[in-house]
Amino acid sequence: FGKNGASYADFTFVMSTGRNPVLRVNYVTTYALRINVTDDLGLPISDASVTVTPEDEEEGSAEQQGYTNSDGVATFYVKRGSYSVTASHERFTEKLTQSVRVSSARTVKLTGEILETVQIVVTNDYGAPLSGAIVTIDGKSISTGTDGIASFSLKRDSYTVQVACSGYATKT
């Protein structure tokens, strides 16, 4: 068996008309399909859900699912064929999907855009938190809690923040 592939065998007993049965062994070669999942900064994403689905059920291996390790890699062993590879993670803005043709061992890289949690803390001139302030980012408004915090999930980018609170001037 090769370093990047594995084989398994299907055993079939065929009874002949004579006294000795015939044993047929069919070897099926599989190939390592490594899925490398990273964020938009190139950092590995661990615990991303990865699914490998055959595009032609008669040609490829059965659907397989797994999770990336701490290096952002999930490895599957598949037969020669075409597959749809999908990766998802709670911090991704959307699922990642790519079609892959496997005829030897290979690595596929999927890069996802990450949502970051951003907290805006609103305080008065003395540093006390302001509850009920309206914080607006990219058209989405959130009211601060008793701790003066409004939390947003945002794509990595630059944003303009607007804060409005009763009794205070609006700040941008």
49-88 pLDDT per residue, tens: 999 999 987 777 889 999 999 999 999 999 999 999 999 9
Q: In whole angstroms, give the CA distance from residue 86 to residue 76.
A: 13
Q: Mean pLDDT across the chain, nearest whole number?
A: 87
* pLDDT at residue 8 greater than cutoff 80: no
Any bridge partners for residue 153, and if so which? 117
Structure tokens at 126: 């003395």
Terminal Cα-to-Cα distance of the chain (whole angstroms): 64
Whole-angstrom Cα Rg for the chain = 27
135-146 pLDDT per residue, tens: 999 999 999 999
